[in-house]
Structure 1
């Protein structure tokens, strides 16, 4: 049985300036799984940079805080309990519009790879 806690997870900043920890990733856990799961944080008043994943589907699941999700030419408010589908090759970014940290899970299939992420102009 494998159980990982965000309390023991190392956070780092990725290219889009989101701070995250990889909770479950097949390369780290030597598991056969078709996705990766990360816990992401964005400070109040901050936003991720516009970016896209070239070959992966991404799902954000909002845990805490308030934000505004931007995918291509659409944007909508998001709150705890919302799941957001982000197709491959979509320009995306999320901003924290609240007074607390915006906390969410990122589920990526196939699993996230740094070289698959590209900043948008």
Structure 2
């Protein structure tokens, strides 16, 4: 059994500029899964850098409101929305609300730095 508390996971600034806490990764945890889960936050008025992953990714919005950009598409997303991001798609999310935009990032296969490319600074 593995139980983790989000509050005990170290907070870092991700390559895309979001505030990240890695919750689960088969690269660091003794788990037989092929995906990773992280908790991400974007502060009001801020956005992640344009980037892409070689892996597929799912965002599940926990709180807040944002504009999700995937390739040439743009949609408003909010609490309760699940967004599928295909592999190799350009992506970014902007917080358009007054509160923190908070979401889970589920990456399959598990996130690795070498599979992420930052496209803008």
Unaligned segments of structure 2, at least 5 residues: none
* Offset at residue 115 of structure 1 (A): 1.0
Q: Count the aligned residue pairs.
A: 120
Indicate yes or no: 2:66 matched with 1:51.
no
* Offset at residue 32 of structure 1 (A): 1.6
Partner of residue 78, structure 2: 79
Unaligned segments of structure 1, at least 5 residues: none
Partners of 1:98 and 1:5 lie apart in 2 by: 27
Partner of residue 114, structure 1: 113
Partners of 1:6 and 1:95 lie apart in 2 by: 23
* Offset at residue 9 of structure 1 (A): 1.0
Moved more, 20-29 or 102-111: 20-29
- Provide TM-score, normalisation by structure 1: 0.96
Partners of 2:15 and 2:8 lie apart in 1 by: 23
Partner of residue 21, structure 2: 21
- Provide TM-score, normalisation by structure 2: 0.96
| Segments ≥4 residues shifted beyond 2 Å | none
Q: Please, what is the CA RMSD of the aligned residues?
A: 0.8
